[in-house]
A and B are shown apart, each in its own frame.
Chain A
Amino acid sequence: MSPKIAALSAPLLLLLISGITAQVVDLDVVADVSPGRAGLGPSAQLWLGADHLGRSVGARLFMATGGAVGPGLLAALSGLALGLPLGAAAGWWDGAASRAAGAVIDVLGALPRFVWVLLFAILYGDRPAWIGLGVGVAGAPALALALRARIQELRRVSFVEASMLHGVSVAEVLVLHLIGTASRRLIARHLVELFVASVVVEATLGYIGGFGVQQPAPSWGNMIAFSFGQREGNALAWIAPAVALQAVVATGALLAGAIAEGERGLGGGGG
């Protein structure tokens, strides 16, 4: 792993740890309304100050990661579970199998991410898991298409043909060499994109309201919507979640870019 990729992975890892910790610690950020400290600026006790209801912005920012990380991980896993077999089938085989996988990719890719998420929410319930699954299903076609292109490019190269002639099974060549080794960077890039996309979707749902995490529970999106427009008080109450979200998105984009650079540096096939 290059130092650049390691450095860019650190903030996302921090988010992951924060999200998991937020799930297990018992920090009350819902009922800690305190009119006495409403709108207070940053201090030693409240390091990001308090919102207009006197709730700690820092604590809410931290606890909100709990609601973002779970769907993010699920988005990455479900995108992988769907995109990998579709891309492999479309790329490795010719004929009916490839056409069928291609048709499924086209159908899944015809529905935008937010439409998937809204559909899952109304049909199966507005739960964080469905947000992650919606993002994962929406992102699977992009992974599948990239993987299909990579496998189609590699399946005629000499080491693959030599492996097949030596009796190595299709499953081993496909799973171990073409996916596990030659496409690992490509897959990692898509996983990062899916994770970040899910964090954005969760914040967007919270911001617009009606779906996702609703006030008084914290989400970065609903913190922005709830605190912006309060003329008096602590602007960090909406600036901090906006900056945190933008930082996650920017880090994700830079990390995906760095991984893609690595793919190109290895001639596309070394990914």
Chain B
Amino acid sequence: MSPGLARAALGRIAGAAFSLIGVAVLLQLMLRAAPGDPIDLLPDAEGQRAALEAAWGLDRSLLQVLMDVLQGRLGESLALRPGAAVAGLVVEASVASAPLLLGALPLSLLLAVPVARSGRGRAVAAALSATPIFLFAFGWVSLINELTFALMGAGLVSAPPWFALPDQPSALRTALAALSLAVASGNLSAVANHLLGERSRARASGWREALVARGEPTALPMLRNLLPGALALLGARSANLVGGLVVLEKVMLVPGAGAMLWDAALARDYPLALGLSLAAATAVVGLSLGCELGRIALDPRLQGGA
């Protein structure tokens, strides 16, 4: 790794870490500003207030709580999985969501390249990208379900092995969910439009004309020229991807961090909901950082500390 690349990478990593600390502080401030007191909700608990405050960590200062968060101590789940460590639940759910998230990111790039290359399908990509993510997933799920039921009803097929019940893991469902996330998060259209614009600019550039004049292939240099910008765009849109995950996991019944956040919020499980929110912020900042580091690695001009 060149010193310029290392310097630029360290700067970005420090920035990402600072943002995450900021999110942890913000979440704690929001919690402290929330009205009500959980102990008030318990019958005859006034006598045990001090003990309950200590047990639930309500008597801890903001600094103490932040130190706990930095050490991975996020408390215990109160309602969804009572007594289970939030950190463990968050890690478990995040691991389950990772294939979906990490699959959707390259998928949006892979799908955008042919759209941008041919110039066709832009309107379709734009229309699909503009579709609300729950409606897009609902369309997929309904179409596949109806078709499968129709085929099964006609006696043409028996229940296919991938036609999983809601509580069974399904590779097809995860793949469809990743595709839905790549398209309906708006990434497909945004990246395709970006690539199309940048391609026109690169085509008119001197370096490409020189390559053509020398009879050398232009596809790879073009890709290398266009990728950094596309990565920057994907990084900037990472919050859309993670936000879409929350909805998609609920609609497509994929068990993961997004679905767990929704359930934790419904159950008013504050420690778990805050832990998962911090995990969502980590995913956003992490994806953004990964894209940024990829951009810096691909573009030597950015390695001078820019």
List A residues at the B interface (Cβ < 8 Å).
103-104, 106-107, 109-115, 118-119, 121-124, 138, 200, 203-204, 207-208, 210-211, 221, 224, 228, 242, 245-246, 249-250, 253
Contacts and interface: CB of A to CB of B under 8 A. Distances in A.
A242 B135 contact: yes
Nearest to A125: B35
A106 B273 CA distance: 21
Interface residues of B, number: 44
Interface stretch (B42-50, B82-90, B222-230, B258-266): B258-266
Given A111-B284, A119-B273, 17 more contacts: A103-B22, A106-B19, A110-B22, A111-B239, A111-B280, A112-B280, A118-B262, A118-B265, A118-B277, A119-B265, A124-B34, A203-B134, A210-B265, A210-B266, A246-B135, A249-B132, A253-B130
The listed residue with most B CB atoms (<10 A of its CB), out of A110, A242, A253, is A110
21 contacts: A110-B19, A110-B23, A110-B284, A111-B277, A112-B239, A113-B243, A114-B246, A114-B247, A115-B242, A115-B277, A115-B281, A118-B246, A119-B265, A122-B265, A122-B268, A138-B243, A200-B132, A204-B132, A208-B134, A221-B134, A249-B130
B43 to A, nearest CB: 22
Contacts of A208: 134, 247, 250-251, 262
Contact of A123 (B20, B31, B285): B31
B15 interface: yes
A221 B22 CA distance: 34
Contacts of A250: 127, 130
Contact of A115 (B134, B142, B246, B270): B246
Contact of B30 (A104, A123, A203, A224): A123
B246 A245 contact: no
Contacts of B284: 109-112
B261 A107 contact: no
A109 B273 contact: no
Interface string B28-44: 00110111000000000
B56 interface: no
A167 to B, nearest CB: 36
B265 A245 contact: no
A202 to B, nearest CB: 11
Interface string B129-142: 01111110010001
A128 to B, nearest CB: 16
A110 B30 contact: no
Contact of A107 (B22, B34, B135, B265): B22
Contacts of A111: 23, 239, 277, 280-281, 284
A201 B34 CA distance: 22
Contacts of B33: 123
B281 A110 contact: yes
Main SS class of interface, B? helix
Contacts of A121: 265
Contact of B285 (A110, A124, A246): A110
Contacts of B23: 107, 110-111
B134 A204 contact: yes
B131 A112 contact: no
A38 to B, nearest CB: 22
B280 A115 contact: yes
Nearest to B32: A123
The listed residue with most B CB atoms (<10 A of its CB), out of A107, A114, A138, A245, is A114
A245 B22 contact: no
B240 interface: yes
B132 A245 contact: yes
Contacts of A210: 262, 265-266
A128 B130 CA distance: 23
A123 B131 CA distance: 29
Interface in B217-245: 239-240, 242-244
A210 B135 CA distance: 17
A119 B277 contact: yes
A107 B247 contact: no
Q: Which 6 A-B pairs have the closest CB atoms?
A: A112-B243, A107-B22, A123-B34, A110-B281, A118-B265, A253-B130
Interface string B274-290: 00010011001100000
A203 B270 CA distance: 24
A264 B138 CA distance: 36
Contacts of A224: 135, 138
B126 interface: yes
Contacts of B19: 103, 106-107, 110
A86 B285 CA distance: 20
A211 to B, nearest CB: 7
Nearest to A249: B130
A138 B246 CA distance: 15
A106 B15 contact: yes
